[in-house]
Structure 1
Amino acid sequence: MNFTYASSIRSAFPALVSCCLFIDAVEQQIDVSQAVADLNQQTIDKLNGGTESDLAEIQAWRRAFVNMGLKPTQYRCAAESLLRRWRKEGSLPAIFPLIDLCNALSLAFAIPIAVFDRQKISGDLQVRPATGHEIYHTFSGTIEHPAPGEVIFADATGRAHARRWTHRQSGYSAVSANTTQALIVMEAMHSTAAQDIAALSAALMQQIHRIWPSSTSAPLA
């Protein structure tokens, strides 16, 4: 499969930098608590006593949401939502090892990370404006149809795997106890996005190879 952006997205957001990785042989019975704790210390250092709204990474996504016609304090990118919750509560709930690891990395780098069950995606995955006919499954099981023009992650069948770009993923392709193959997407738009995405992807690969030594990983075009 390929991971792409519609030309209209590239034109509207020229500062966008991303990395997409395919991971297989993901075991769910793994302890990632030490890795999460180490990354949480990096998050403390990054916030440096401030809040997520002070960070250039988050400010860039807020501007992008404004450009999409959204209120940035109503619809937050995933990294901002995680940082906000973590800062207020002191921790995030454990979900699945791969999700916990990626959430901790997202906190430490203040960069949204989407993690999909690869086997739930049909054909190629593209970030593009919605037509209004796509199907989106919420985590509660209801079905929604993104509004025309809304930025979504869509597969070849017209299923939306995320709404409002980096705001909310679909329950349909969320990682579950049965997930063994994952697609991980990291995106940023701030001034040092290129080097930070490179550092984030390297950190992710290092952690995956350490925690899941039998797994293989490969970048997608």
Structure 2
Amino acid sequence: MKASMKSSIFQIDEFIKIGINHYTKFVISESPQMLKGRMQLFQEHLFFDLQDKELTDYEGIKEWRALWKKFGADPGRYRPAMEAMMRRIRNQNYLQPLNSGVDLNNFFSLQYEIPVGLYDLSHVESDIHIELGVSDTTYTGINGRENNLQGILTIQDTIGPFGSPFVDSLRTAVSEQTVDALQVFFLKPSMSIEAAEQLVTAAGKMFTQVNGGNFSSVILSKEQVQANFPTIS
């Protein structure tokens, strides 16, 4: 499988970087108590932290809201995924456990202050590419609504769009039947390539520690707009 980004994206912001982990031969199940406890404790710490801070005090939210505006979308209406989660936590509407894939994905998003998506590759056809959504770029999201993605980065295959830093599609939602998945990290533009590589590798190691399996990583940037995933056994 090959992943690529439209070069025109870098004319808007040359520092945009996308990290991708490809996971195989893993098992998604009910989250272990360790992960549930860690996620609950992390949310409680965030809740108290949010009583004294503005959302834009978090560097990840600040950077992604700025990107939203550069792309032409309204960050007040279509919020980056981690900001939407933090708003819930600020109101003590904590995220509840779903499964070991989704729960880890949410943890990474909150921990790193970036949008992170997890996609079932059995519902993806051909190579994937990342580009800005236009007026007719839509899909049914995991929020149960038809979402318009104009001015928002989207992940697409030959069928159409299936992921974004706003909300993911129902088509590629991960379940306990998923055994082949792609995890996409919408990294902070300020992050160096070296730091980006360390982040996606650390996340991949934690994901496979919890769920088993194997992973490989790529980073897309202005210097590398496309990459092939190495074969993993």
TM-score (norm 2): 0.79
* Compared CA separation, residues 191 and 127, structure 1 to 2 (3 A): same
Residue of structure 1 in register with 2:171 after alignment: 172
Is 1:217 the counterpart of 2:215? The answer is: yes
Determine helix, strand or coil for the equivalent of 1:168. Answer: coil
Q: Distance in 2 between matches of 1:143 and 1:78?
A: 16
Could you tell me which of 49, 66, 79 is aligned with 1:63? 66
Query: Per the alignment, in what secondary structure is the counterpart of residue 153 of structure 1?
Result: strand
Contact 1:94–1:100, Cα closer than 8 Å, also in 2 = yes
Gaps of 5+ in 1: none
Q: Look up the equivalent residue of 1:219 and give its one-letter code.
A: S
> Are 1:17 and 2:20 matched, yes or no?
no
> How many Å apart are 1:79 and its aligned residue?
1.3
Out of 168-177 and 136-145, give the one that drifted further: 136-145
How far apart are residue 87 of structure 1 and its match?
2.8
Consecutive unaligned residues in structure 2, runs of 5 or more: 219-226, 228-233
The alpha carbon displacement at 1:191 in A equals: 2.4
In structure 2, how many angstroms separate the alpha carbons of the residues matched to 1:63 and 1:17? 15
**Structure 1 residues 106 and 33 mapped into 2: Cα distance closer, same or farther (>3 Å)?**
farther
Q: What residue number does 1:152 align with?
A: 154
CA shift for structure 1 position 69: 1.9
Tell me the residue number matched to 2:183: 184
CA distance in 2, matches of 1:203, 1:39: 17
Change (3 A) 1:38 1:68: same
In the TM superposition, what is the alpha-carbon distance from 1:131 to its structure 2 partner? 5.6
Identical amino acids, percent of aligned pairs: 20
Residue 218 of structure 1 aligns with an amino acid whose one-letter code is S
Deviations 1:147-188 (A, max 9, x none): 5x653211123x1113xx411111111112321111001012
Task: Report the TM-score when normalising by structure 1.
Answer: 0.83
* Counterparts of 2:79 and 2:171, CA distance in 1: 21
Output one character per residue of 1:2-48: Cα deviation in whole Å (capped at 9) or x when no partner: 22110111221212122101112231224334235335655637947
- Equivalent-residue separation in structure 2 for 1:133 and 1:195 (angstroms): 36
Q: Where does 1:32-181 land on structure 2 (aligned, <5 Å)?
A: 32-38=32-38, 41=41, 44=45, 47=49, 49-89=52-92, 91-130=94-133, 136-139=139-142, 147=150, 151-157=153-159, 159-162=160-163, 165-181=164-180
Secondary structure at 2:8 match in 1? helix
Alpha-carbon RMSD: 2.8
Deviation at 1:118, TM superposition (A): 1.0
State whether residues 12 and 71 of structure 2, in contact with CA within 8 Å, keep that contact through their aligned partners in structure 1: no
Deviations 1:63-85 (A, max 9, x none): 11111222212111111111221
Q: CA deviation at 1:197?
A: 3.2
In 1, are the aligned partners of 2:156 and 2:162 still within 8 Å (CA)? yes
- SS of the equivalent of 1:53 reads helix
Shift of 1:217: 0.6
Matched, 1:198 2:197: yes
**Across the two proteins, how many residue pairs are aligned to each other?**
216
Return the offset for 1:132. 5.3
CA distance in 1, matches of 2:147, 2:195: 34
| Cα distance change on mapping 1:89 and 1:195 into 2, 3 Å | farther
User: More deviation in 34-43 or 175-184?
Assistant: 34-43
For 1:29, give the aligned amino acid. Answer: S
Q: Work out the CA distance in 1 between the residues paired with 2:105 and 2:201.
A: 13
Deviation at 1:103, TM superposition (A): 0.3
Letter in 1 for 2:123: K
